[in-house]
Every structure is written in C-alpha cells, then in structure tokens.
Amino acid sequence: MGTTSARLRSAAGILLALATTAAPAQDLERLKFNNPGLVVDLGVGLWAWPLPMDFDGDGDLDLVVDCPDKPYNGVYFFENATGPTSKVKWPVFKPGRRISKGLQNVQVSHVDGRPRVLSPGMEHPDFLKSGLERGEKLDLPANVHPNKVRGNFWRYVDYDGDGRLDVVVGADDWTDYGWDDGYDASGRWTRGPLRGLVYVARNVGESDKPKYDDPFRIMIGDKALEVFGWPSPNFGDFDGDGDLDLLCGEFLDGFTYFENVGTRTKPDYAPGRRLAGPDGAPLVMDLEMITPTAIDWDLDGDLDLIVGDEDGRVALVENAGSVGPARTPRFLAPVYFRQEADDVKFGALATPFGFDWDGDGDFDVVSGNTAGYIGFVENLSGPGVARPRWAAPRLLEADGRTIRITAGPNGSIQGPCEAKWGYTTLSLADWDGDALPDLLVNSILGRVHWYKNVGTRTVPKLAAARPIEVAWTAEHPQPHLAWGWLRPEGDALLTQWRTTPVAVDWNRDGLVDLVMLDQDGYLAFFERARRGDSLVLLPPRRAFLSESGEPLRLNAKAAGGSGRRKICVVDWDRDGKLDLLLNAANALFYRQEGSRDGGWTFRNAGLLSNRNIEGHDVSPTVVDFDADGVPDFLGGAEDGRFYVLRNPTSVGQAATPAVEHDPAHDVREVLTRQEAAWNAGDLDGFLTTYWDSPDLVFQSGGTKTVGFRPTRDRYHARYKAEGRAMGKLDFSGLEVETLGPDAAMARGGWHLVMPDGAEPHGLFTLILRRFPDGWKIVHDHTSVADPEPAKKP
C-alpha cells in the first residue's frame, strides 16, 4: 500500500527520472494507434472544411477535407474503397493522405458534374491534381463585406437561373460582437451578436468569361438575411418545388433554412427556420463552427449535408426525403464518418496526462479537449514497448454520465459564441489519500474541481464533480478575477481559465499539493496540510521564482488572453529537483536551480525541440512507454494529436543538440524561439534574438532605426505601451540561405492576429551572424502589406 500511495502522490510515477539538457536527440513523432483493424472517427486537425467529390475518378464519392490548422495544415484525401455511397452510406475510409497545403474558408461547388473549389477571391482549377497549391484570382475583392470578416465562404451557383454562374459569399462579421469581457454583473451579454450575411455577385458576362456586378446582400424584406455568424451558404432545391432555397450553417451548432418563396429567376426568401431532427428538437452538431456542404451523398435524389465540425470530424446529415411543418426539409441526426485508425487523436487542442489509469503497469493517456470531454486512451501493449498499440479513445463518465464541461450561454469570457466549448485540462493523483487516483480538472469556466475515484485501482469509477476548496483566511482572503461576471461559490477555487491544475506532492511531505496559475497569472503553490483528520488546501503562495528572484508570472494578460498556460511538473534533468515544462512551440524547459526564501528558482533552458507544433498551444506531459525509468515528452497539439519526443538521455542517446554546426537549422531555431517568446507575451525574450549592439539596423515602414536600444524602445512603444497588445504571431514561407559558416539570410512572411480582430501581415528579410552566444539578427527589413480598400456593402 505504501508503494502504491507514493506512486500516486507523484502523479506520474517518474517525477524523479533523469536527463541533463533540453536539447533534443530526435524529432517529435506523432503517436500512432499501431492497431490494424481498428476503426475510429475520421478526422483532420482543428477545423474541417469537407469537400465531397470523386477525387480518384473511380466512380464513387470520396471525402476530401481541408484543414488550415497548425501543425496538421493540409488538404487530405480520404479514399472510399467500399464503392457507391448509394449502397454504403457510411464507408470506412482509408486514412487521410495529404495532397497540398491547407487554406482558410475552402468550399466546393459541383458544376456540370465536376467539383470546382474556391477560397476567398480565388478558384483552384487544378484541384484534382495539385489541391490548393495553385489559384487563379477572380475578378472580385477577397472580402466583399465592408468590415473585416473571419468566416468568408465562396461558392458558385446560378443564383437567378439565367444560365451563368454567379458567386455567392457567406460573410462572418464580428464588429458588433467584439470579442471578450462583454457581460454585465448578472451574466447578460451586453454586445451584439455575430452576424452571418450572404452576398451575391451576379455574373453579367459569360460563365467562361465572367464579369461580376458589385456584390449585394440577400435581404428578407428590408432586413439582411442573417444567421449567427459562419454562414457557409448552400443553395439547392431542398423542398422540391423547382427553385433554389438556401440553407446555412452558423458559428454555433445548428442550421437555418430559408425557403425561396419567389421563383427560379427572381428569388425571394422567407424568414429563416431552424432545422429540426426526427424528435422535433433542433438539429445540432456535437460541436460548433460547423461547415455544411449540400450534396446528394446517398444518390437517392435529394440533397444531404456533409458537415465539418470544429474538432476535425465530418458527419453525414441525411435528408429524410420529406418536408415538415411550413415546408421545412427533414433531416436525420448527424452520423460521424469513420476511418481506419492511423494517428492517435482526441478532438482538438488535446491536453494529455500520462498515467497508468487502469493499474496494469503501463502508461495510458487521459486527455481533455475543446469539446469539454475527457477521454481515456488505453495502452494495450503493456510496459516496456516504446511504440505501443492503442485502443480507441473512450469518454470518461462521472456518476454514470459522460463528462462534458461546456461554457453554456455565458460561461466563456469570450462570449456566447463559445457555448459548446469546454477546453478541459487535467491531472491525476490520489487527491484524498485513499490510494486510488482521482481526477482534477480546470476548463473554460476557470472552476477547478475534482472527481473522486470510487472504483478500484484496475477498474476506476468516478463520482460526481466536487469543487476544489481553499482554506482562505483573513490574511489571505478569497480573491476574484478582475474581469467577467463569474464569482467563486463558498471556498471554491475560481481562477484563470484553460490552465492546468497540477496535482503533485511538490514539497515531498507525503501530501498532494496543487500547482497552477492564480487569479493574476502567477504560478502559485497551493500547499496541502492536515488539520486533525482532514486535508486542507492552503491559500496560494507565489513561491516559484525567476533567476532574479521575481515571482514567475506566466500570463499577465486579462480576460480572454488570460490563463491558457499548460504545465507539467517533472524532474526532467534527473538532478533530484522538480522542473517545469510549459506550453510553447513544443515545450519550454524551466530548470529548477534551487530554493531560496521559502521558494524555488527556475531558469528558462529553452525549447525541447526545434520543431514548432504550436497552433493555439501545446499541452505537455511525460510518459515512459519503454519503461527505462526516464521521462519522455508527450505533447497534445491543436490538431488533437499527440507528439512524442524521447528524453535526450534515454538509453542510446547523447545529450547533444539535434543538429550541430548547421547554419540553416540554427537560424530556423532563432525564428522558432522568436515566435514562441512573442506568443508567450515575452517581448524581451523575443528581443534576445537581436544583436545587442549600436550597429544593429532595423528598417520598416520607411523608417530606419539604428542600435539595439532604439529598436527595443520601438518594439515596446508599439506593443507594450498602454492600450497596445502583442497579438498572436505566425511565420510562414521561411527560406534560409547560408552566406558562410557564420552568416545567413532569412526571408519569410509574418502574420499577427490582434485581440481586436485586426490581422496585420507582411514580409521580412533578416541578416544573421553567429556570435559566441549564438546566432543574432544584425539587420532586419520588415514590410507591412497595404490594408485592403473598403468594399461596397
């Protein structure tokens, strides 16, 4: 019993295992199911734009799915090897094969029996050969709406029956909605809705030589036809009366039908009606940001819907072949497509925790995701197998019900459009000291709670959720967040959202403590103590310090920018002291240097790998599949997949960088560090990649800045002054040309997503030199693309 309890208190069983450096000895590797015959949900990464078509020309419909995320970006071909979908509506597809890069907002239109693929302002005529690699610009601006848009869905359709292909565009406007922190004290949203509008650009030329009129909005009476954002318009004869009706998706989970009560040549649309399922309840998808495509999938003469979901899954919503009240077409409930198992995947923004959940001696994976589920992925191989065989993810239950935590209409600081997201993140440990592992969870709500294991060590069973409570005192009263309307209940812990609650015996006194962000974004130590026969959690101390002795503030942002830090506690370098792995391009290794003044100091030793797999973030944990006693890295990425990296001091590996004396590789690493530091809000960390010299040159926007200090001041004025923000940075198209062993030139594109929705972008050219302390930028020429001109409404 003592041995079991000790292992559970450590929460991973290997917190004191050994390594000596953050430098990787091999690249990140996707975790594979390694389970022939296993069938799982078909899925790409974050966001799925389904493009159903006969891609391979064998006479049956396949699934092609566009995915614009990182790191799974691409267009993927899922082959239907079963045959006609008139006989098998739900074939088991082959694993996806990448055919090209992915782009945002890609749609397919079936014209005269062939697929024509559009992205905003662009057609991709060679799609069947080269996917999205080549585009031809249409004679229309890429944004036909006067405001900035996020969703921007383009399709061809002969809108007015004149025999010429027009262009229809679904535009997703966030102007009235804003973004975050828009609730009053009672939890009522005080801003406007998302607006999903539909435009038509009539072709006044010919189909083979189009010329488009100015786009106009489709109206219903004197008001614009509108859904709750993300409209993804589909025109078709859904009620069988010979004209084209309109069916739209939305940013949330449902569908709106607009009946054409005019004619084929003079469309006129009735107010929208929500589609209902067979039981009369609203027809909804499991998640949100849905992207329907209308096609006769089962070849029975009516239009079905192939619908992509936010987590990369794709479903068939079958047309029931009849109309209901008010001539609204009937559809059956969504059924998600399946594929032969390949990569292990659990939704999107997977947050894994490596642990022997079923007590059979090997490391399993328990994970949260955007949908708010918690899944158990069972290791079927047993200990000592470096590449195990895995079972399909199984959703955990508590008190007999599937665990799913969601924001609901007012639980997300970013507003009601996030109602079906949960962003669960978790750890496992024996929280109540009964020698059984329990589950601790944080989520989109910031409410930290735990599920008691009332089963056995080999057959866990979870009771209903209970709040994690803190023994607040007069000296340390219960704080609350400086934003939002949610307030703690009783002594319950309410802290920053989407950040890992790490249950670990940090001070090694035999009691499981809690390590996580406090209400102000500092990494805090919630120490456990005994009071009589009870365990209590003491108020947090900011006991985790930088090298200079300052408390570690892992996120200083407010509201929607707060939280989001994913944390793993492990003795990564095997020196007997617990270290930190923090979300970054893969993971940042914060090495514990020692203790002082009742706290612990840490040094940022850098990234574990040179490869950037970060989209929203990467959630780190550790595993020991090969049972060599050394913790290996496992990261859950935006694409819902898991990436493994062996610890560099595992058997047979040297603790040396992955690549030595390779200028191109080293320069790419500099850019990776820049991206990671920027997206962590660490502007000074970003600036360490520049040459600290009065001879540094920075040129942008017609201005030349000379010297490191003026360059630093310029950055701080633009991105750290009051009212300024850094946003989310992404580099693309990076090219590195070596100019010798100690000099290189790098070219590429940069793109920022700002909190207000603006997306400045442009190009850069850098000159770098190798110095004794590494590669530094000595000359930076950065350009900014001209903003798009305003468009007519």
For 452-480, write each residue's pLDDT tens digit.
999 999 999 999 999 999 999 999 999 99
Name the least confident of 324-338, 362-376, 736-750. 736-750
CB 310 within 8 A of CB 369: no
For 213-272, write each residue's pLDDT tens digit.
999 999 999 999 999 999 999 999 999 999 999 999 999 999 999 999 999 999 999 999
Where residue 150 falls among pLDDT bands split at 50, 70, 90?
Answer: very high
Count of Cβ atoms closer than 10 Å to residue 307 Cβ: 24
- pLDDT at position 20 over 60: no
**Is 778 exposed, middle or buried (CB count within 10 Å of its CB: 0-12, 13-18, 19+)?**
middle
For 313-337, write each residue's pLDDT tens digit.
999 999 999 998 888 999 999 999 9
Name the least confident of 22-31, 622-631, 765-774. 22-31
Rounded Cα distance, 347 and 367, in Å: 10
Where residue 659 falls among pLDDT bands split at 50, 70, 90?
Answer: very low
Q: Give the model's pLDDT for residue 655.
A: 33
**Across the strands, what pairs with 504?**
513
Where residue 355 falls among pLDDT bands split at 50, 70, 90?
Answer: very high
Where residue 774 falls among pLDDT bands split at 50, 70, 90?
Answer: confident
Its pTM stands at: 0.82
Q: Give the model's pLDDT for residue 450.
A: 98
Q: H or E element: which one contains 130? A: helix 127-130
Give the SS3 label for residue 483: coil
**Chain position carrying tokens 């946003």:** 727
Q: H or E element: which one contains 705? A: strand 703-706
Give the SS3 label for residue 711: helix
Q: What is the mean pLDDT of residues 384-389?
A: 96
Where residue 624 falls among pLDDT bands split at 50, 70, 90?
Answer: very high
DSSP notation for 418-479? GTT----EEEEE-TTSSSS-EEEEE-TT-B-EEEEE-S-SSS--EEEEEE-B----SSSPPP
Query: What φ, ψ does residue 52 adopt, rounded to 5°?
Result: -65, 135
In 2-141, DSSP assigns E strands to 29-30, 39-41, 49-53, 62-67, 74-78, 92-93, 97-100, 107-111, 114-119, 122-123, 136-137
Name the least confident of 425-439, 589-603, 724-738. 724-738
Q: What is the mean pLDDT of residues 605-628?
A: 93
Q: Looking at this protein, which amino acid is placed at residue 61? A: L
Q: What is the mean pLDDT of residues 593-609?
A: 93
CB 765 within 8 A of CB 781: yes
Where residue 682 falls among pLDDT bands split at 50, 70, 90?
Answer: very high
Q: Give the model's pLDDT for residue 7.
A: 38
- Closest listed residue to residue 277, CA positions, set 330, 237, 241: 330
**Chain position carrying tokens 């997306």:** 759
Rounded Cα distance, 286 and 253, in Å: 7
For 500-559, write each residue's pLDDT tens digit.
999 999 999 999 999 999 999 999 999 999 999 999 999 999 999 999 999 999 999 999
Q: What is the mean pLDDT of residues 84-110?
A: 97
Q: Give the model's pLDDT for residue 756.
A: 87
Whole-angstrom Cα Rg for the chain: 27
How many helices (H) does the chain have, and how many strands (E)? 5, 58
Q: What is the mean pLDDT of residues 561-588?
A: 95
For 467-516, write each residue's pLDDT tens digit.
999 999 999 999 999 999 999 999 999 999 999 999 999 999 999 999 99
Rounded Cα distance, 758 and 109, in Å: 30
Q: Give the model's pLDDT for residue 787.
A: 61
- pLDDT at position 194 over 60: yes
Where residue 21 falls among pLDDT bands split at 50, 70, 90?
Answer: very low
- Between 571 and 773, name the one with better pLDDT: 571
- Between 739 and 322, name the one with better pLDDT: 322
Q: What is the mean pLDDT of residues 391-399?
A: 98
Rounded Cα distance, 423 and 597, in Å: 36
Q: Give the model's pLDDT for residue 740.
A: 64
For 105-147, write each residue's pLDDT tens digit.
999 999 999 999 999 999 999 999 999 999 999 999 999 999 9
Where residue 752 falls among pLDDT bands split at 50, 70, 90?
Answer: very high
CB 167 within 8 A of CB 138: yes
Q: Give the model's pLDDT for residue 19.
A: 31
Where residue 26 falls among pLDDT bands split at 50, 70, 90?
Answer: low
Q: What percent of the chain has a predicted confidence (pLDDT) above 70?
A: 94
Q: Give the model's pLDDT for residue 4.
A: 40
Q: What is the mean pLDDT of residues 63-81?
A: 96
Q: In the predicted model, what is the mean pLDDT of the chain?
A: 92
| Residues ≥6 apart with Cβ < 8 Å to 256 | 227, 247, 248, 250, 272, 273, 274, 275
Range among 260-264, 700-704, 740-744 rated most confident: 260-264
Rounded Cα distance, 391 and 365, in Å: 11
Q: Give the model's pLDDT for residue 651.
A: 52
Q: Give the model's pLDDT for residue 702.
A: 87
Distances (CA, A) of 6 to 12, 25, 366, 622, 628: 10, 31, 20, 18, 19
- pLDDT at position 8 over 80: no
- Closest listed residue to residue 180, CA positions, set 417, 445, 421: 417
- pLDDT at position 278 over 50: yes
Name the least confident of 366-380, 440-454, 474-488, 657-671. 657-671
Rounded Cα distance, 764 and 751, in Å: 11
